[in-house]
Structure 1
């Protein structure tokens, strides 16, 4: 068996210290409690103040949010009214667009009909212009051939061929380019024949008629001797000193007595040469020029330069052929007619289309 050892008793100093500690702890106990209570009160006050601040802040935010919600409500209401207005306008615009679409469809149909009509008119205009140019060229070519055959007027035929070539140049169909080449070949053939220049010859004859007024006349004795070129005997020359006998047997005798009459007769012969030139009468032209040459030679002084020039001009005119051998025309005319016939068979005339009437709904009417 174990025996319990008796506890040792504390010393007196130790007991005093324990007593002091106990009394001190007894004194600190209410202070700590008060401190804890104050802390709790402060914590409660802080919590209450914080909650109040949060509540006030939340109330302010709630008021602000309420204001914003109210503003959003009013804006939403205004937006709804605007949307209704826009929807009404959209409906009006849709109905208007529907009407415009119908009108556009009708305009499109009318414009198509108009384009077809304009295209046909343009084609007809080109065809009509080509037809007019071809008609003109054919008529001029036929006229040139007839003038050359009737009057032997090569220069008039060349001028007519130039007009026909310009008329064919106005046609836009390249099919007739070969006809222009044939026309050029026939013009070159006419130029190669070297026909008498009608305008230049007429001017030369007119200048000769005007120049007759300034030509010096022969003396009376020379004119009588020239007018009567018969052989004279010695006895007749002696008798001529006392008695002069002459025969009035035609124009040369009259011309020998009258200077004005001589100039007039030569002018008449030149006029006859002009008439023969217009008629393309080679024989009459040569006879008239030769008569004028004989009249100038018989009545005017051959030593004067003007008389010599006049005689040389008359000799040149008498020696120039009025209508030389000219080529046959008609190749270009026949080629043009054949091409026109071929073109008419290949491209027949189309009937004019009737424009369609379009209803307001855009549907074409027959």
Structure 2
């Protein structure tokens, strides 16, 4: 129902009431109204004013304004709700970050505590390990002492002489050590063999299975020493002396008289062959000497120079003999090479060939024996006596 219809209803009701009740005129006070027989004159009735409704255009603009206001309120509310949601999420993230930081701090503290606990446990384990090692070492020493005592008792019981077994073992060790040193330091095979045989005689009086095994090892080393091929130092020394004597008669340098005589004999031979060319050559050979040298030309030296050359070569051979006696292989070979070079430089090839061959053989001759590996018997004795085996088999 529109507003216009609602406003027109009271007006229509008022019109109906006016038609039912006649109009009254005012009377003076104190007068009694009387009915007249003549009807009064009818007055014209004017219709009530009609209230017009507001234009529909104004009502539509107001509703649209309310609609925009409501839309603005909804938009502001939605924006506020979004801002509230963002703040809530940000607050949640900050809270989660704070909790994560606290957890990390707790984890780091736990790790530090565990690291300290690990270090303390490692220190305790190291202390316990050192204590255990010390105890093991003590037990090992006690066990070694006990085993050594038992060994001494057993050896003493099996010894055929009154001398204690420990003294006999010490003597045998000393002999073997000396023999090994003689071989390694001086290449003295004969002395080392005598010392090894003496050690075997000392061990012979101990009738013990362990000693018998050591004697077997010692016997193998003794057989090895017997089979060593020793160099003939004396023979090499004698050969060097013979070479020294041979140098005294070795022709050195160019002998001028021999050279001229050779040329004259060659000229006479050419003349005897006949022919005018040969006769011309024989005649010219008295004044001109034409020769062809297959070897390098050596300078002509005097008799004093030849004597000095012989003395120098003799001294070189004597130095080689001294190096041979001292066992200096390097100096011996160097001296032999120098002697051979001097003979090649100043002696004739035909005369120097035997000497050079002898020098080459002497240089390649072995000066040191082929030493066998030694030390097994000595190591066995040291092990039997409870000592550390410091000597290894060495050539």
TM-score category (smaller protein): 0.3 to 0.5
TM-score normalised over the length of structure 2: 0.37
TM-score normalised over the length of structure 1: 0.39
Higher relative contact order (CA 8 A, sep 6+): 1
